[in-house]
Amino acid sequence: MSAQVLVLGPSGRMGRAVIEAAAGRKDVSIAAAVDRKDAENLGALVAPGVAATTELAAGLVACDVYIDFTTPVATGVAANAARASKCAAVIGTTGLSGSEEAAIAALAEVAPVVVAANFSLGVNLLLGLVQQAARALGDEWDAEVIETHHHAKRDAPSGTALMIARAIAAGHGVDYDTVKRHTRDGDVGPRPRGEIGVSTIRGGDVVGEHTAMFFGSAERIEISHRATSRLIFAAGALRAAAWVVGKPPGRYDMLDVLGFSHR
């Protein structure tokens, strides 16, 4: 049996990629598509036999799992609505606030939920490599993260850059919030040892590029990932959707889906 999937935001860049990537897969089937009230595609077919609607509650009841790449506000609304039907969820929206994280936590009490700021296999492997490098090098090597995305991206730094920075902090054995530096401007003084900087570049149609940099004395290590198609994130999200249906309630991440032991 294939998992019946509700796609949120089928008119969006990622919503379209999820629908495209689902074509031909046997483990998932697009069964409903729900967009915002003023979306231009309402009523139009977005997948075989599936028209975009605004009927969120009905769609959640009809499906096994919903896939959400929308906006933080829409993600909070959907997580609250999904509690009633205990619908499983795959959430990729980034830039979430505390109240939206709380809505996801409440949903995870009654349904299985996969949350990932990046659904690509490569980035999830990179997180492990970065943490290993940070542990081996220690904070004598200055660690910085640079990310580049298309000019329509709203949140900064990217959710993936924050995951990479947190992996460095974990490798150093420190609390990320005590060492983070997201912007530098003006007379910021010498770089404190152990600081972890994250820099943001926006432009053009870049799908997503991340580099972790470790600066030693007269040498430097860079570990990079470049995504050239949103289909890798969509394929990862669909894999997560097929995986999460039937799991016990709780919050999972992409490492759980990929079967990498990390707990």
**Which residues sit at the interface with ligand NAD, rule CB under 6 A?**
8-9, 11-15, 34-36, 39, 69-71, 74, 77, 92-95, 116-119, 233
Residue 92 or 197: the one with the smaller Cβ distance to ligand NAD is: 92
Q: How far apart are CA 61 and CA 63, in angstroms?
A: 6
> How far does Cα 18 stand from its chain's mean position?
14
Between 40 and 187, name the residue whose CB sits nearer to ligand NAD.
Answer: 40
Q: Which is nearer to ligand NAD, 36 or 181 (CB)?
A: 36
Distances (CA, A) of 253 to 118, 201, 249, 259: 10, 26, 13, 10
Q: Could you tell me the smallest distance in angstroms from the CB atom of residue 200 to ligand NAD?
A: 13
Long-range contacts of 219-228 (CB under 8 A, 24+ apart): 221/133, 221/137, 221/141, 223/126, 223/129, 223/130, 223/133, 225/120, 225/122, 225/123, 225/126, 227/120, 227/122, 227/123
Q: How far is the CB of 119 from ligand NAD (least distance, A)?
A: 4
Closest CA to 170 of 129, 211, 118: 129
Residue (71 or 211) nearer to ligand NAD, CB: 71
215 Cβ contact list (under 8 Å, min separation 6): 141, 142, 143, 144
Residue 220 CB, nearest approach to ligand NAD (Å): 28
Find where tokens 């483990």 sit: 27
Q: Which residue has the tokens 């904070």?
A: 139
CB of 96 to ligand NAD, least distance (A): 8
Separation of alpha carbons 27 and 22, rounded Å: 9
Judged by DSSP in three states, 100 sits in helix
Catalytic residues: 149, 153
Cα torsion through 141, 207, 32, 81, rounded to 10:
40
Q: Determine the residue with CB nearest ligand NAD.
A: 12
Beta carbon nearer to ligand NAD, 122 or 194: 122
Beta carbon of residue 136, minimum distance to ligand NAD (angstroms, whole number): 28
CB of 225 to ligand NAD, least distance (A): 12
Please say which residue, 15 or 197, places its beta carbon nearer to ligand NAD: 15
Q: Are 235 and 116 in contact (CB under 8 A)?
A: no
Cα–Cα distance measured from residue 69 to residue 93, given in angstroms and rounded to the nearest whole number:
5
